[in-house]
Structure 1
């Protein structure tokens, strides 16, 4: 894996919540059992012929394959060793076969992805960048570097004038952009930069400005700027949680915007109990944000806040992990989302494995 104690120091040097520390939390046996069952089920659903994963009806193979691959990387497996090394190698080979000359990851002609291929591109970039950081085979490392470099270039060309991204490239989508795809690209770009791939600062700066421009006076982020400015009452909690996660992954832990987003999330997102229907996307990013806050980060950002009102990873786990335990099927999967069991299972496995602190993009 990455040499954990030397990664991304430049990004994290502004961390104001405490000293830089990459530390895995103790995972209880019951939690590990949930993880083991989920990973076993996920591995069993990988396509035997192709090496990819799919959502319901064969949809979104690029995104599903990337998210599944991330779960096995979080477990500790790599391309060269580990229980799920064969699954990872097949997933990477699947991406390598489908990367386009333009740099787009995935196939824009796939009918299930043709109208929203930028999701797959962002998640694919996140996965392949995470793989690249620990790849030792010289030939495959060079191949991955070329792929990632082209994929980053494609991101820049696909970005809209406002700094965001839409479901397809700016040229094909009439310059439309929206928050969820923008977050996906931004996190993928952060992972690529963490791995040593050159990412023009201008691309990230424009994307960060886009998210700030999407922020209302209440601190939440709206769906899109394509139809106007940020208006209170149009906020999306899921997008705001995703913005917090991206801010943290870039080393921004204390700006006015990061603090606005955190407070909005605390007031708008139920933790574990009383979750909303189909809120897997929201939980995926919100868990990352709360994990990085830890148990004392909120208090340091908001001195004087009442203990009972603070977000903390311990409180989140107490509520969320009971919820996840109750929802796990006998075969190890989760099925609460409308996209399908693969998506819901990868989201929940990501949440359960954050304590391992395996990948840089998810670390404190």
Structure 2
């Protein structure tokens, strides 16, 4: 039997297979509100057979958006906009999930296809971060977050998590990777604070762990909580895989059920060594050394490649991103390639 098509139960949620739609920004919302594009985009991947469909990094507050076109989940209007999307995903047999994000010092910028020559900043709001150090030249100068502001943000994440559950999402992932706010606090390259929220590894992890604990409490015992991390900054003096193993242990103690292992994003110009499955080894190291469930992501494109990740016990879930943009029906094709039985939507049954 194919491991990729073996169900997985986490808390009260059962995924029909181990294929996950990785959160991918669509830069297509208005005032943080998802629309028909998001319904069709995410719904198509559910129809295509994925086990878990994670909606894009969704801002917990307006200034947490990467671009003005990012989705959000900070109000009842956002809950109402997300509810039919989550409902449609669930109706297709997939589990609806959402990634809660805050861009921190990487916020208020142009979406990729609108970026003008030499232009970066759009939106015009005051960005925030661990310090007043910008991400790189041309990025907005952030305001260093005071301890009271960090305490407020913990509750902001918790409310966003409650909103996510109210909208019908059954998995909540906290985004602590790719150089966004929680990653900015974790990395010694971006967190040079000297108070209780900086300094050593424990100080740098204080705010992210408080967020995860608050999210766990907010969603209750039945809802799985994932955390996406960047296993390495790909830069001397930055986070290493060994650091991430320790962070993963702390995340599990804080209530995380699974660590979604990516890398990079916190340092402009970092030299990332890419290639097929290039981040799988990070998920493997975290899974074995921290003894926590993991998800692997990064240039996983072939069904047999994905199957091997699970056969090697390198991860518990396999996340696909660009490959699912190219082919929303990749899970159905993978089932055929691996000899697994899959039940397509009744509307499509005559094609199988």
Q: Which has the higher helix share?
A: 1
Q: Which has the higher strand share?
A: 2
Give the TM bin, normalised by the shorter chain: 0.3 to 0.5
TM-score by length of 1: 0.33
**Which of structures 1 and 2 has the larger relative contact order (alpha carbons within 8 angstroms, sep 6+)?**
1
